[in-house]
A and B are shown apart, each in its own frame.
Chain A
Amino acid sequence: MKARVHITLKDGVLDPQGKAIGDSLRRIGYTSVSGVRQGKLIELDIDEKDRRRAAAEVERMCKDLLANPVIESYAIELDGVG
């Protein structure tokens, strides 16, 4: 099964990279951009056919390593069999 974990900085945590991207977009003419948050995407291949067990496993991975709960939030997406 494939899982995708989207990790973003929590609301209220300053994102200087997002801000720099927003500044650049506006500078080249995309003046409609009023905010940018940069995150990361982690794709996992998991040897697990049961959707619920896979979701629980990825949830634990997020808590243990993939995301830092002090500064980041995450969203899990599953696809494939199940």
Chain B
Amino acid sequence: MKAGVVVFPDSNCDRDVMVALRAASGGEPVVLWHKESSVPPLDLIVLPGGFSYGDYLRPGAMAAHSPIMRAVKERATAGTPVLAICNGFQVACEAGLLPGALLRNASLKYVCRDVHLRVEQSQTVFTARYAQGQVVRIPVGHHDGNYVADAATLDRLEGEGRVAFRYVTPEGEPTAGANPNGSARNIAGVFNETRTVLGLMPHPERLADIRLGGTDGRAMFESLVEALA
């Protein structure tokens, strides 16, 4: 699998995700600088976490208009899988690759802790190594992760099986207490129409090695390698 990781000014999870990709694939990801206007042939594009452009205007808004994103959108439209994590999810929404938007957390607090997620859709290149309905533990670290979309959009996402992950209790219940940021319907991640773009606020790359305290994130990178290698 040949993966490319986009780096914006103030991306800060690009190296972490490259470690996880390397561990899963054995291959070396390429770095895609935000000022570049084309991307080489790739099997996967990653939009990593961070605070691109200092979160000015709105998180992800400036990055969504950087030169590299025009090329990323073209590739995504042509079917190249895009994994958009945390700030990458915000960028993908701002760029129109995914529906909805991410607002300030309902608590107004930055939240940084492990959360439990239920795998809502395991029939994708990102999630094939997870079981449908499996509960996994993955960290979040964000100030603006409150997913919103209008009711019609949310209904469509649910109806089309495009909710990827939901915040749940360790027992798998999507309660208000299990929701770290106020997201609509406890949604932690969504797919585009073809399920080739995944955006999620939690960081699978941060628990993809036992030395980091857990490995629940590893299956996402293994799923991608299996599907795209």
Asked if A and B are interacting partners, one says: yes
A:50-82 near B, CB below 8 Å: 64-66, 68, 70-71
Partner of B61, one of A14, A16, A20, A68: A68
A19 to chain B, nearest CB (A): 9
Q: State in angstroms the CA–CA spacing of A64 and B94 once bound together.
A: 10
Q: State in angstroms the CA–CA spacing of A65 and B61 once bound together.
A: 7
**Interface size in chain A (residues, C-beta < 8 A):** 12
Q: Is the CB of A14 within 8 A of B103?
A: yes
Given contacts A13-B103, A17-B104, contact A70 B149 (CB under 8 A): yes
Q: State in angstroms the CA–CA spacing of A66 and B62 once bound together.
A: 10
Q: Is the CB of A16 within 8 A of B108?
A: yes
B182 contacts chain A at the CB level, 8 A cutoff? yes
Residues of B near A13 (CB, < 8 A) are 103, 148
Q: Which residue of B lies closest to A38 (CB)?
A: B104
Q: Which residue of A lies closest to B62 (CB)?
A: A65
Q: Which residue of A lies closest to B109 (CB)?
A: A16
B:56-84 near A, CB below 8 Å: 57-58, 61, 65
Q: Is the CB of B57 within 8 A of A20?
A: no
Give 1 or 0 for each of A5-16: 1 = CB within 8 Å of chain B CB: 000010001101
B:133-190 near A, CB below 8 Å: 146, 148-150, 182
In the complex, the number of residue pairs spanning A and B with C-beta atoms less than 8 Å apart equals 38
Q: State in angstroms the CA–CA spacing of A22 and B149 once bound together.
A: 24
Q: Which of A9, A14, A20, A64 has the most CB of B within 10 A?
A: A14
B157 to chain A, nearest CB (A): 13
B69 to chain A, nearest CB (A): 12
Q: Is the CB of B148 within 8 A of A70?
A: yes
Residues of A near B57 (CB, < 8 A) are 65-66
Given contacts A16-B108, A20-B108, contact A71 B103 (CB under 8 A): yes
Residues of B near A16 (CB, < 8 A) are 103-108, 146, 182
Residues of B near A14 (CB, < 8 A) are 103, 106, 146, 148, 182
A10 to chain B, nearest CB (A): 9
Given contacts A13-B148, A14-B182, A16-B182, contact A68 B104 (CB under 8 A): no
| 16 intermolecular pairs with C-beta atoms under 8 Å apart | A13-B148, A14-B106, A14-B148, A16-B105, A16-B106, A16-B182, A17-B104, A64-B65, A65-B65, A68-B58, A68-B61, A68-B101, A70-B101, A70-B149, A70-B150, A71-B103
Chain B residues packing against A (C-beta within 8 Å): 57-58, 61, 65, 93-94, 99-101, 103-108, 146, 148-150, 182
Chain A residues packing against B (C-beta within 8 Å): 9, 13-14, 16-17, 20, 64-66, 68, 70-71
Give the 6 A-B residue pairs with the shortest CB-CB distance, closest first. Answer: A70-B101, A71-B101, A16-B106, A16-B108, A68-B101, A16-B104
